[in-house]
Amino acid sequence: MTQENIRLELLQNNDEVVQLTVTDPNNLVLGVPQPFDLTPGVLSVSVVVKTSRQTLDSDPATKTYVATKTVPAQGICQFTVPAADNAVAARTWWRADVIQSAPASRRTVICGPAEVMAV
């Protein structure tokens, strides 16, 4: 089960470092998803920010960021959005995918609205 409608807020014209705790929808304890163990070297987290949920990932306006695993065993990672990528105040869509390189697979674990807020 993907965590849906998780809001991402960015400040306009600011470099933003966003920390995520990625949970594994297939690892439930009392119905609660547990942190995704990102320790295996074959796992990475990709974050996609695009105009809308329906916008194709291949759209030129779509931005993709690779997250850095900071506490991998607890599913904690972070990604940086440069100020140039959030120069315009707008409401968009974002998602985080856990990617496994061998065997190849991609699983969306978080998604929701993203908003660049004027300051």
Task: Output the pLDDT for position 87.
Answer: 95
Contacts of 88 (CB under 8 A, 6+ apart): 12, 116
* Beta-strand pair 104-117/8-11: parallel
Task: Output the pLDDT for position 41.
Answer: 79
Tell me the Cα Rg of the chain: 14
Query: Domain 8-117 has what CATH class?
Result: mainly beta
* Beta-strand pair 90-101/23-29: unpaired
Q: Which amino acid is at 87?
A: A
Which tens digit of pLDDT belongs to each residue from 56-66? Answer: 999 999 999 99
Task: Output the pLDDT for position 1.
Answer: 67
Which tens digit of pLDDT belongs to each residue from 31-49? Answer: 888 999 998 877 999 999 9
- Name the average pLDDT for the chain: 93
Task: Output the pLDDT for position 114.
Answer: 97
The residue-averaged pLDDT of 91-119 equals 93
